[in-house]
Structure 1
Amino acid sequence: MSILVIGSTGTIGSLVVRGLAAQGAKVRALVRQPGKASLPEGVQAVVGDLTDVASLRQAMSGARTLFLLNALVADELTQSLQALNVAREAGIQRIVYLSVINADKYAEVPHFTSKHTVERMIDRLGLPATILRPAYFMQNDIAIRPVIEGYGVFPMPIGATGVAMVDARDIADIAVAELLRRDRAEEPLPSVTLDVAGSELFTGESATAVWSKALGRPIHYGGDDVNAFEAQLVQNQVPAWMAYDLRLMMERIQHVGQIPAAGAVRQLEEMLGRPMRTYQAFVAEQVPQS
């Protein structure tokens, strides 16, 4: 029996695969094309696609545990529901699903509502699962580093309510811990939902200040204009539907933030046996040292 990782080649999924392999788990990684993914030794690549039910059935045959991470795509909801239905048919009763923080509070944001619908399916069908709800990934800001360094502007319009940014490496470590906990249990474990977030809230201004300090020069917050944010995404060849989805997300971040439940970060740190990584440390890693 093995752990099947869906979403195995992305930022989080690749870290999950490596973490599981390092713990000696038997891992299958779902890939779209054979031979293209760089996988750790001993990890079995299985070719499949979330839109191809037959390939999902083959990938899940004999799997004991499932990690489901679905990328931001137009038919994300259909893909995720199909994957979970196939898992249920295959008798998989150990699931870790990567959702998003405050999924129930972002009703107008398509990919948040998709994930909340999947959470409801898991609950209604009584699937034994851990639902991980991560906040804004620190790694999102790797893509905007050229703007920060080249133009002296932090361009993410995250507003002033507060975002508990989380390092993707911490998300992966939590996912690995939960996958192993479920996989090694003799019987399916009760379902749980975990907010996965950092220990400090950041606003647009305070995140900008972190970059200013790390770079040793003034950086300015670009402001809360989500129209300009959407237009810039489209200009950078992001599909229009995705740019609009992300614009709606930023509007909600500005209004309700991304704030974990009380005690959530302490629980995560107890699971990891260490503090969560900080945004200050993440930014320091991105800035060349003189």
Structure 2
Amino acid sequence: MTILVAGSTGLVGGNIVEHLAGKGGEVLALTRAPEHAELPEGIVPVKGDISDIGAMRSALKGVDTLFLLVPNVLGEHTYVLQALSVAREIGIKGIVYLSVFRAEDYVDVPHFSSKYSAEQMIEQVDLPATILRPAYFIQNDAWQKEPLLSQGVYAMPIGNQGISMVDARDIGEAAALELLRRERSHDSLPSETYTLVGPDVIDGETACSIWAEVLGRPIRYGGDDLNGFETCLKSVAPEWMAYDMRLMMRRYQQDGAIAVSADIARLTELLGRPLRSYRDFAAASAAEWGGH
């Protein structure tokens, strides 16, 4: 039994390997710098990069099940299709692929469109895969610490339509469960798709209300200014990425990203417990930030 986790040192991948540690079999963590990887005991680092076909072919030798996360990079569309093709060539028994909620609708957002292309490939060539479609990560709002504490502002321009934000820890656990289910099966299993969401719908004003409660101070919404959002992001990220994020926020403002009750119920059943809420994250963050 061998599982390879691509993206093993990131937010989601780190949660996955934590859940897989000690569950039996061999778990390999794909990383560009094995010597620096901080992994749970028993997880084996493997040198490789999702953009390197030769490295992927080498890393996938002897692997039965693959977790595939391709980050938001300029070559994402090419890299994900190549990785899926290499996995297909070796006859992989199972794949768990991290896509995004509403990928088929937000086709004007580059990283959504790339992920939807991967979903289409999985369907058309009949790969044995579980597609996980997470909404906006709750943990993205850790970046709000400075404006919340210094200015009393929630500055993420998510609009007023609402998003069923999901905790990255729930994503990691769901991915680990699906990896183990596919790995432990004698044969390849049929395709599955899970929408990964949280139990609440969060918009700008709701987020402000929650932060005001947990921080014990007034918090106002910074508004829907996408020009300012893009300009701010360009100071810390490449221009193409800042524009990609602007396009995503524009769609959130226009259309929202709200889950149906069946999605929430299905994920709750998979995890066997209630889903983590935005309020849980905010309360824990407020406690952590208390002395700062």
TM class, shorter-chain normalised? over 0.9
Three-state SS of the structure 2 residue aligned to 1:103 is: coil
Counterpart Cα distance in 1 of 2:285 and 2:161? 25
Counterpart Cα distance in 2 of 1:102 and 1:256? 11
Q: TM-score, normalised by structure 2?
A: 0.97
Aligned to 2:244: 245
Give 1:257 shift. 1.0
Give 1:109 shift. 0.4
Give 1:146 shift. 1.2
Give 1:262 shift. 3.9
Counterpart Cα distance in 2 of 1:34 and 1:202? 38
Aligned to 1:8: 8
Counterpart Cα distance in 1 of 2:23 and 2:198? 25
Q: Which runs of 4+ in 1 moved over 6 A?
A: none
Counterpart Cα distance in 2 of 1:26 and 1:197? 30
RMSD of aligned alpha carbons: 1.1
Three-state SS of the structure 1 residue aligned to 2:162 is: coil
Query: Residues 31-46 of structure 1: matches in 2 within 5 Å?
Result: 31-46=31-46
Aligned to 1:266: 265
Unmatched runs of 5 consecutive residues or more in structure 2 = none
Three-state SS of the structure 1 residue aligned to 2:3 is: strand
**Could you give the per-residue CA deviations for residues 123-161 of structure 1, whole angstroms, max 9, x where no partner exists?**
011001000000011100111211111111001111111
**Could you give the per-residue CA deviations for residues 250-285 of structure 1, whole angstroms, max 9, x where no partner exists?**
000111111224401111111111100011111010
* Identity rate, percent: 51
Aligned to 2:212: 212
Aligned to 1:26: 26
Aligned to 2:95: 95
Q: Is the 8 A contact 2:110 2:244 kept in 1?
A: yes
Counterpart Cα distance in 1 of 2:52 and 2:69? 16
Three-state SS of the structure 1 residue aligned to 2:156 is: coil
Q: Is the 8 A contact 2:164 2:198 kept in 1?
A: yes
Aligned to 2:193: 193
Three-state SS of the structure 2 residue aligned to 1:28 is: strand
Equivalent residues, number: 289
Query: Residues 50-65 of structure 1: matches in 2 within 5 Å?
Result: 50-65=50-65
Counterpart Cα distance in 2 of 1:23 and 1:251? 42
Q: Is the 8 A contact 2:22 2:42 kept in 1?
A: no
Three-state SS of the structure 2 residue aligned to 1:132 is: strand
Aligned to 1:122: 122
**Could you give the per-residue CA deviations for residues 13-44 of structure 1, whole angstroms, max 9, x where no partner exists?**
01101111132342001010231101112211
